[in-house]
Every structure is written in structure tokens, then in C-alpha cells.
Amino acid sequence: MRGSVATEARSLRSVTGGTRLYLVMADPVGTLGSPALYNSLFEVTGIDAVMLPWAVAADDLDAAWGGLQAVKNLGGMVISMPHKVKMLRHLQVLEPRARLAGAVNVACRMGSSWGGGMFDGVGVIHALRAQGWRGEGTSALLIGCGGAGRAIAYAVAQEGIGRLALADLDALKAKQLAQEVRDACGKLDCQPVAQAEGPYDLIVNASPPAKPHAATDLVGDRPFAPNTFVVDIASGRIPSALIERGRLAGCAIVTSREAILGQVRPIWDFFGLPALTPAQLAAGIQRYEG
């Protein structure tokens, strides 16, 4: 359905010599929804721009960037795995969340320089608040300490939670991030864990889609309490095992859809595009989802 919507949007308008180009740079790109989503928004707003998927392997980032930065009508990029951390070395300006997380998920021109921002954490917090979550004094388990996980760790820490457990199949990643969060957030109890030591008020899976069993392996078989909030930003269109467990327990759920939609407006603003009205955002999402 989403593919047909994107095709329809492209058929309704022409790409001209003045069309602004935006990219989603990742590997793989086949399951990414960002091109269809932003093209739908360009359509409803009448902005002469197009977003395309750009499949770049991890080892080819430097070579690809060498050419991309010379493209004069390239307005910006959404950055996804595996480039969120490595892209930092190519950017001259970082917004505060990107600097804190040490990762970016968006880049754009800033005069003669390129700047980066990180909005993965913003999207998750926005989606959680819409479900009624309030962080003050609560506990959280974050699974996956890569680029997106780093951003989410700082985002939930800044919401005033009392305890944050970090887990990753690479134990060193969890240990390093826990130390960095403690250094940045003072009194927060932040520790790496090898297995879930709940109960937790919030469980977030930010592990890569390429590791679909990481969350269930680290959470174990402990039943979820019905007042737990369960987030899976790697869930895709098919509900993950973590999401299904949460639903069966009656938990409030945040999927990758809600987390992605929660960061559309800040990314749009970061690109410097004309202000997006609530009606335009709603219409673009409706077109995108068909």
C-alpha cells in the first residue's frame, strides 16, 4: 500500500530543474518508510522537493559523502543504520542532542557547512507522552546501545527517570554508554545489565532489525506488568515478539510507526522547510498510510 501511495504521488507532479533533493542514506533501504512519508508531505504542501533512498554500505560512507556534498541541490539527508555514528566525522555543526548522543539521524546544509541533528529520542518521548507516560522517578530498560539507543538513553534520562538499565549483545557498548550517561546526568542510577532485572516501568527495544531476537533474549520470560510501557523502534510493519508480549499483558505500546511520526516535525524544521501546519501533517500522514 505505501509503495503504491508513493508511486501515485510521484505521478501527480513533475521533477523539475528546480526540484530540491533529499535522501535517506542507509543499508539496507528496502524497508524504509521515510521516502514515501516525506514525498507525501512534499505533495500536500506543494514544495518542489523529492526524497529518494540511497543505499550505501557501511564501508562506503566516506566515498559516497565525497560526492554527495558536492551536489548543489541536495538539501539534506535522513541518516539511518549503519551510518548514525560514523556520519559525525563529516559534519561541522551539531545540534545539542546529536553532540550529547554522539550520533545523528539527519543532516542538512547550514550555509557553507553541514550540520547534524538527532531526533530518535525526541520521537520516542513524543510517542510515549501521547500514551500518557511521565518519566519522573520511574525505571527503564533500554535494549540496544547503538546510535538510536544512545539518543533514547539521554532522552529518557532527561525526563527525570530514577533508574536506567542498559543492555546490548555487545556488553562493552552498554558499559560505555552507562558511564557516559552517569557522567552527563549526575544522580541518575544508570547501569549495564546482562539480563532484565525488572520490573521496569518502561522497556525500549532499540536493537538493530538485523538482530530480531536481541530484545527477547535479553528480556527473558518474565511476564510484563500491565502498567509497563513497551517501545520497539525496530518493530517495522509486522509486530515484533516484544510488542506482542506487551499487548497480551495489556501494556501501552509504541511501535516504530509512532516513534517515526513523532520526529517528523522537528526533522522538517531542521531541514529549514516552510512551517508544517497540523492539517498538512495529518494530510501527509494519511496519504502516506493510504
Catalytic residues: 84
Q: What are phi and psi of 165, to 5 degrees?
A: -105, 135
What is the C-alpha radius of gyration for the chain, rounded to an integer number of angstroms?
19
Contact present, 120 and 105 (Cβ < 8 Å):
yes
Residue 173 near residue 144 (C-beta atoms within 8 A): no
- CA atoms of 242 and 236, how far apart (whole Å): 12
DSSP E strands, the chain: 20-26, 49-55, 74-79, 93-94, 106-110, 113-117, 139-143, 163-167, 189-192, 202-205, 229-232, 252-255
Contact residues for 164 (Cβ-Cβ < 8 A; gap 6+)? 139, 140, 141, 142, 153, 156, 157, 178, 181, 188, 189, 190, 191
| Residue 3 three-state SS | helix
